[in-house]
């Protein structure tokens, strides 16, 4: 398992993550930022665990986010 970490407050709303992986990411019309689907929030950071088999998609999303707010939690 891999844990995704999303610093949502720093998201600039470009929509690239949703474009690449709409099963994990969805833009929120209420504030224009991305939601990490199925995540839980701890101290203003959003987390979700995914199987290793989805890591290839996650790495694409991580590399395309222009403000580097998506990381793998170690």
| Footprint of ligand SF4 (CB under 6 A) | 11-17, 34, 65-67, 69-70
Task: Output 7 or 55, the one with its CB closest to ligand SF4.
Answer: 7
Kindly state the DSSP code that residue 10 receives in the 8-state scheme. Answer: G
Q: Report how far apart, in Å, the C-alpha atoms of 70 and of each of 33, 38, 49, 63, 73 are.
A: 13, 15, 13, 9, 9
Task: Output 16 or 55, the one with its CB closest to ligand SF4.
Answer: 16
The nearest distance, CB 38 to ligand SF4, in angstroms, is 15
């Amino acid at each position: 398992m891999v844990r995704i970490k999303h610093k949502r407050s720093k998201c600039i709303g470009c929509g690239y993550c949703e474009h690449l992986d709409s099963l994990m990411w969805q833009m929120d019309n209420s504030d224009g930022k991305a939601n990490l689907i199925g995540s839980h929030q701890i101290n203003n950071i959003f987390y979700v665990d995914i199987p290793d088999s989805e890591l290839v998609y996650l790495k694409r999303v991580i590399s395309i986010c222009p403000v580097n707010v998506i990381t793998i939690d170690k």
